[in-house]
Structure 1
Amino acid sequence: MTDTRMDGSGTPKPEDWAGEMGARWLAGIDRFEAMIAPIGDALLARAAFMPGERVLDLGCGGGKTSLVITAAVGPSGWVTGIDISPDLITRARARAAAAHVTNLDFECIDAAVYQPDMPFDRMVSRFGSMFFPQPVEAFSNLHGCLEPSGRIDLAVWGPPRENPWMMEMIGVLRRHIEVPPAVPRAPGPFAFEDTEYLTRVLGEAGFGHIDILAYEGLQPIGGEGASPEAATDFALSSLAAGRMVEASDEDLQQRVRHDLLTLFQRHQVEGRGVLMAGKAWLATAVTE
């Protein structure tokens, strides 16, 4: 869900992943990661990393995906995770240290300007590639981070209307507050909802053999097994639903909480949590 607060010109403000958004993700990191785990699993299955490969994990967050990849590439391979959030990089490094992993490092840097000491064989991003203000320039830089015939694998959200987990929450908010319309192709979770646009960006950045598959499944809101109450707490503390109403009076916040709880109760599946439909694109491309 995008941050729809406005700047002085009336334009939606970009999400501040180096600051507030990174801190929010960290605060709810276990629930965030559990919510998108099914898509992350599908992304890594499609990527099929091999022993000995050098892999760049773009927008690595708390490093969970990076840690999984280290097992696939083995001791002869290497994984570097990069993220713009210092909070998340600190968590990622702590996780790697706790796991005693030696073929993994993390850097806090903007991927749009990242320059590795040597190129990578592979690049992967689980929902970390949709926030570039200038995507063609950013992906052109990332193209230069890969070996010739290197491969990139991305997971990005499909269209909002095909993601009821988001649209139904927005519907709740619209009963109480004005929700500004989304700006097509603006940096944010749904920047690449249009596969033609994603294909064009990757192509103009120098990638070829672009192949995009749809992933459709159920998202466990607040993580696998979360109760409707826990899912509501997660939505209000960590997702855009909470950011949109946190400055409102207590009465409005309680009304939003009530309606979100009612929504999540309708989607509760016994023993599995609050499951709502979602759609993502899994994109693969190679350098040319």
Structure 2
Amino acid sequence: MIDETHPHADALKYEDWGGEMGARWLANLKGFEGTIAPAGEALLARAAFAPGERVIDLGCGGGATTMAIAEAVGPDGCVLGLDISPDLTEAASRRARQAGAGNARFLCADAACVTLAEAPYDRLVSRFGSMFFAEPVAAFTNLRSLLRSGGRIDLAVWGPPAENPWMLEGMAIARRHVEMPAPVPRAPGPFAFEDLEYLREVLDGAGFRQVDIGAAAGELPVGGHGATAEEAQAFARNAMAFGQVLLDYPQDVQAAAARDLTALYDHHFRPGEGVMMGYCAWLVSARA
């Protein structure tokens, strides 16, 4: 159980995507997008967007998935990137303008309660942006209201921590050096939907049907393709939640943790590929 009085209790219990976490994602955008690219590609392959479809990209981050969807749906379709971070939606909007993607636009809003005058949409997709709702059933009920009857939702969410050593092993090293709370099962956060029974309960409670769950598993490049062990540990300490906890401690503690993280990532480094570590994500689809 998390000690609510501990100074770092909130670091892993709640991630402020509207503020600090969104700004951190943007500052480390290349590393984040490169790291999770294999899972994102698996999600888009499963979703198989068709020309002319109208799509919402939930938790769009820097806009990489939004731009890929915009290309897939073509000029007769459109995609709306939703994110709670103003930093990310502003950056994604610039990215779309620079790419000439006129069928992609971005909105800073809380998807748990947003209303859209142009709804309903045909599809909704989210690459690791759906696990952070404080009230998930209410949030997914609102998301369903944005889709036409029979519209499809496609989600990528992280599987169990033990099947995601790319996160778990770094977190374990951080815990050797600093005190951090253990994650609370089903609480908002990266592993909120590791429990498939709970995920089905949420979707069923929100009125979704025909739930189908597959998996994407393999290896991903920590810090992005080709990152060295030193670059991977810098990414982890500056971008990931456990790294932010480390940054609050004295320099000698940070240096010791950095040495251990570099050793971990060096063990998994492969020339020409980068720091390759295991991951597992659930790929979820359902109908409104």
Give the TM-score normalised by the residue count of structure 1: 0.96
- Partners of 1:47 and 1:121 in 2: CA distance: 12
In structure 2, the partner of 1:120 is 121
- Partners of 2:3 and 2:82 in 1: CA distance: 27
In structure 1, the partner of 2:33 is 33
- Partners of 2:6 and 2:108 in 1: CA distance: 29
After TM superposition, the structure 1 = structure 2 runs for residues 141-220 of structure 1, keeping only pairs within 5 Å, are 141-220=142-221
- Partners of 1:251 and 1:11 in 2: CA distance: 22
Q: 1:5 touches 1:244 (CA, 8 Å); kept in 2?
A: no
Amino acid at match of 1:157: W
User: For the structure 1 residues 268 and 10, does the alpha-carbon distance in structure 2 shift closer, same or farther, using more than 3 Å as the test?
Assistant: closer
In structure 1, the partner of 2:21 is 21
- Partners of 2:217 and 2:3 in 1: CA distance: 29
In structure 1, the partner of 2:55 is 55
In structure 2, the partner of 1:102 is 102
Q: 2:9 touches 2:181 (CA, 8 Å); kept in 1?
A: no
- Partners of 1:7 and 1:187 in 2: CA distance: 19
Amino acid at match of 2:252: D
In structure 1, the partner of 2:78 is 78
What is the alpha-carbon root mean square deviation over aligned residues? 1.5
- CA shift at 1:31, angstroms? 0.7
- CA shift at 1:39, angstroms? 0.5
Task: Provide Cα deviations, 1:254-273, integer angstroms capped at 9, x if missing partner.
Answer: 10000000000000011100
In structure 1, the partner of 2:280 is 279
- CA shift at 1:190, angstroms? 0.5
Identity %: 54
94-103 or 238-247, which moves further after superposition?
238-247
- Partners of 1:11 and 1:242 in 2: CA distance: 14
Q: Secondary structure at the match of 2:114?
A: coil
Residues 1:67 and 2:74 aligned together: no
- Partners of 2:6 and 2:175 in 1: CA distance: 22
- Partners of 2:282 and 2:182 in 1: CA distance: 22
After TM superposition, the structure 1 = structure 2 runs for residues 258-269 of structure 1, keeping only pairs within 5 Å, are 258-269=259-270
- Partners of 2:282 and 2:180 in 1: CA distance: 25
User: For the structure 1 residues 9 and 269, does the alpha-carbon distance in structure 2 shift closer, same or farther, using more than 3 Å as the test?
Assistant: closer
Q: Secondary structure at the match of 1:151?
A: strand
User: For the structure 1 residues 257 and 6, does the alpha-carbon distance in structure 2 shift closer, same or farther, using more than 3 Å as the test?
Assistant: farther
Q: Secondary structure at the match of 1:105?
A: strand
Task: Provide Cα deviations, 1:133-181, integer angstroms capped at 9, x if missing partner.
Answer: 0000000000000000000000000011111111111221122122211
- Partners of 2:278 and 2:153 in 1: CA distance: 26
Uncovered stretches (5+) of structure 1, i.e. residues with no partner = none
User: For the structure 1 residues 10 and 168, does the alpha-carbon distance in structure 2 shift closer, same or farther, using more than 3 Å as the test?
Assistant: closer
In structure 2, the partner of 1:246 is 247
- CA shift at 1:9, angstroms? 10
- CA shift at 1:125, angstroms? 0.1
Q: How many corresponding residue pairs?
A: 284
- CA shift at 1:7, angstroms? 5.8
- Partners of 1:161 and 1:8 in 2: CA distance: 25
Q: Secondary structure at the match of 1:175?
A: helix
Q: 2:174 touches 2:243 (CA, 8 Å); kept in 1?
A: no
User: For the structure 1 residues 202 and 9, does the alpha-carbon distance in structure 2 shift closer, same or farther, using more than 3 Å as the test?
Assistant: farther
Q: 2:55 touches 2:125 (CA, 8 Å); kept in 1?
A: yes
- Partners of 2:5 and 2:62 in 1: CA distance: 29
- CA shift at 1:11, angstroms? 5.5
Give the TM-score normalised by the residue count of structure 2: 0.96
